[in-house]
Chain A
Amino acid sequence: MGGPLLKPVILIGIVYAILKFAVPNIPGSAPLPASLIFLYLMLTTSGIVIFATLSGESKDAFWGPIQRFLTGENIGNLQVLRYGVLLLLPLIVGWQTYNSTAISAAPPAENRTIHPAPPGEYTGLSNPIAKTPDAIQQGKGFYAAFCSPCHGGNFDGKGPASRGFNPPPANFSDPTTIAMLQESYLFWRIKKGGVGLPIEGMPWKSAMPRWEVELPDEWIWKIIMGEYDGAHQSPRTWE
Chain B
Amino acid sequence: MKHGVSEIATGVIGGVLLVMGFLAVEPVAAQESIAVRAQMVKGLLPADDPNAAVWSSVAPATFPMSPQVHWPTRILEATVRDLSVRALHDGTNVTILLEYADPSEDPDDAAAIEFMVGDKKAHFAHGQPMAQVEGGPVNIWYWKNKDAKGMDMNAKGFGTLSVQTHQDVKAKGAYANGTWKVLFTRPLATEHPEEDTQIKTGGFINIAFAVWDGKKDISGELKEKGSQKAISSWWYFRAEAPPDYSGYYYAALAVGLAFGFQFILIRKLKKGQSA
Contacts and interface: CB of A to CB of B under 8 A. Distances in A.
Contacts of B70: 194, 207-209
A107 B34 contact: yes
B252 A94 contact: yes
A23 to B, nearest CB: 13
Main secondary structure of the interface of A (DSSP, over half): helix
Contact of B29 (A75, A98, A104): A104
Interface in B64-78: 64-67, 69-72, 74, 76-77
Interface stretch (B89-97, B99-107, B118-126, B168-176): B118-126
Nearest to B12: A69
B69 A9 contact: no
A90 B14 contact: no
Contacts of A71: 266, 269-270, 273
B56 interface: no
Nearest to B5: A76
A70 B263 CA distance: 10
Q: Which one of A90, A107, A204 has the highest number of Cβ atoms from chain B below 10 Å of its Cβ? A: A204
B268 to A, nearest CB: 10
B236 A107 contact: yes
Q: How large is the interface on A (under 10, 10 to 19, 20 to 34, 35 or more residues)?
A: 35 or more
Contacts of B34: 107, 166
A98 B258 CA distance: 14
B14 A2 contact: no
Given A4-B7, A5-B15, A105-B29, A93 B258 contact: yes
B59 interface: no
B77 A160 contact: yes
B205 to A, nearest CB: 10
A133 interface: no
B131 A205 contact: no
B57 interface: no
Given A69-B8, A161-B76, A204-B123, A199 B254 contact: no
